[in-house]
Amino acid sequence: MVTYTAAKSQTQGRPGWSINFRHPLRRDARNKPGLKVRRGLGTTDANEADTLVDQMNLLLADEKWWSLARRAEAAVQFDTRVVDSFYDEVEPAAADSRALRQALLPLPGRDDGYSRVLLVGTTGAGKTSLVRHLIGTDPDEDRFPSTSTAKTTIADTEVVIADGPYRAAVTFFSEADTRIGIEECIFNACAAVLNDDSDDDWDFGGDDSVEKVSVEGDADAVPAVEANEHQFRLRDYLARVRNLTETVADPVLEKLEVNFSEAAPDDQDAALELVESELGQSPLFSDLANDMIDDILGRVDLVKAGQFARKRSGWPIQWTFETEDRKEFIRQVRWFSSNYAPSFGRLLTPLVDGVRVSGPFAPTFTDEMPRLVLIDGQGLGHTPDSSASVTTQITRRFAEADVIVLVDNAEQPVQASPLAVLSAVGTSGHYGKLAVVFTHFDQIRGDNLPGPAEKRQHVMASVRNGVGSLRETIGGGVANSLLRAVEHDAFMLGGLQGHSNKLPGAIKGELRRLIERCLKAVEPPKVPEAAPVYSLLGLDFAIQAATMKFHDQWSTRLGLASRSSVPKAHWASVKALNRRIVFGLDSYGALQPVADVIRELQTQVSRFLDSPARWTREAANEDEIQ
């Protein structure tokens, strides 16, 4: 039987005492009971801390307390700090961040005269740059929302163009979700040490590298002294990763008689699986993860503006802020959304799962303040797999959006990921909401493309080819509707990385046309008079076909069979997916089982709906049919 005990400790740079213990009811990254917990005790008195540790050891020693039903009784016998440390997070509730933001800052909709616009597209296509132009923020002075050539937007960013003061509501990933990511980073760092022992590869540079990102006079820049402290902390983390690898991983490899850097890939994978198990059980590993959590909470403490709501552990749940000062508002919101290099070390961006802002933002290329809600989220991956699924985080918002704007790169239009979006929009019945923005239109080059008309034809030819490739999968009716939607509402844009006032007149015209399209979306649609009649027997076959295809694909991904063209998933990715499922998440990278089954069901049911048994009367045209 495992014995659980508690001890006190002090975190570097903090005067108070903390309590450390392995929790018998909470599971670690390997889904085994005994997660090592560290909680602040709120005291600098060593004797008081000892008393609290003694109480925790009494609680840990008696299994009768190991139930949430005993919390009220425990509160009578033990100090509140001990009770909270043990019972908090035993059953972590899956917080609905969108509902939380809605309670803090309601999102207006059609009844309020607002059009909700969902922007979807591959990473780097220019979604966030488009948002900047639509809300009139300056790329140099405001830097909001943040953009870069790499993946930048990792959280939902919702912007409401409205009168009144500037208001913000920010929500955060849970501590459990964050811990999963931290522990995976530690595992990966240890694997990197095993692969390469060169000190040069682990050198973050000296003080010169710090000076490059410490910009004097920049209010957002981390001071040089603090930046040096961050560098020292990083070096300490790296030294501890090395020590962890040498202390735990190397002995495992010695027993296996494996030279890791020279071993075959399959042998490396097998060795890593054993190493990972040993690392997760090491106190050095859990102490490192807990120190990183403490550092994160230290960053939260540095934000002085606005109001935080936190759990008893100190973990942030939400942050709100309101001001009439536009410049100050954007400066404060950037701590939760920026990727500005001089601010590294203080940014809370990786913790944020949603940013909602409201205020008198407005485009500069029109005199009007359009009543729009702009919803920008994480970009789609650049996957070559034409059967890729669109994440449930995106597809859930299709129904609440009035316009779905697919943002694609005109230089290489309609590749696998945009096609996956088109398929998802079509088979879910939302093609009437579709508009497509092609960015980088100014970058299209070719001897046979002398002017904008030829370039537009070139892009639209790619659209027709792409949608045509979907016809066999999603059905001719849906494919035709998608094609008509794109041809009617395609917008060619370029130069979005710069200032709005420097855009050519034609681009400004396209942006105004896009806004008009979005505003018209709230007008009620004409209700058709003809109606289809179905034989539900066909629905049974559609569902059966969808589930069989899903099972075939995932049997191949998991290496249980070879019934599909999808690639086999790496064991480490499957384990990472399993960890997330334990905590209520449904995907990891390209592994999206929930999105995959939804895609297959939607596709097959859409094809069923495309072939009714009869009609109440003959439809007038294809539009009425769809």
Express each pLDDT in 411-465 by its tens digit: 999 999 999 999 999 999 999 999 999 999 999 988 888 899 999 999 999 999 9
How confident is the model over 459-485, as pLDDT tens digits? 999 999 999 999 988 988 899 999 999
Mean pLDDT (whole number) for 11-29: 84
Give the pLDDT of residue 276. Answer: 87
CB of 494 closer than 8 Å to CB of 441: yes
Distance of alpha carbon 120 from the chain centroid:
13
Strands 372-376 and 316-323: unpaired
DSSP 8-state symbol, 246? I
Check residue 232 and give its pLDDT. 93
CB 19 within 8 A of CB 85: yes
The whole-number pLDDT of residue 152 equals 57
The answer on pLDDT for 215 being more than 80 is: no
Summarised one tens digit per residue, pLDDT across range 72-113 is 999 999 999 999 999 988 876 667 899 999 999 999 999 999
Residue 146's pLDDT band, with cuts at 50, 70 and 90, is confident
Nearest-angstrom CA–CA distance, 229 and 227: 5
Q: Are 228 and 210 in contact (CB under 8 A)?
A: yes
pTM of the shown model:
0.86
Query: Per-residue pLDDT tens for 318-371?
Result: 999 999 999 999 999 999 999 888 999 999 999 999 999 999 999 999 988 999
Query: Closest by alpha carbon to 402, among 527, 515, 492?
Result: 515
Rounded to the nearest integer, the mean pLDDT of the chain is 89
* Per-residue pLDDT tens over the stretch 168-184: 999 999 888 898 889 98
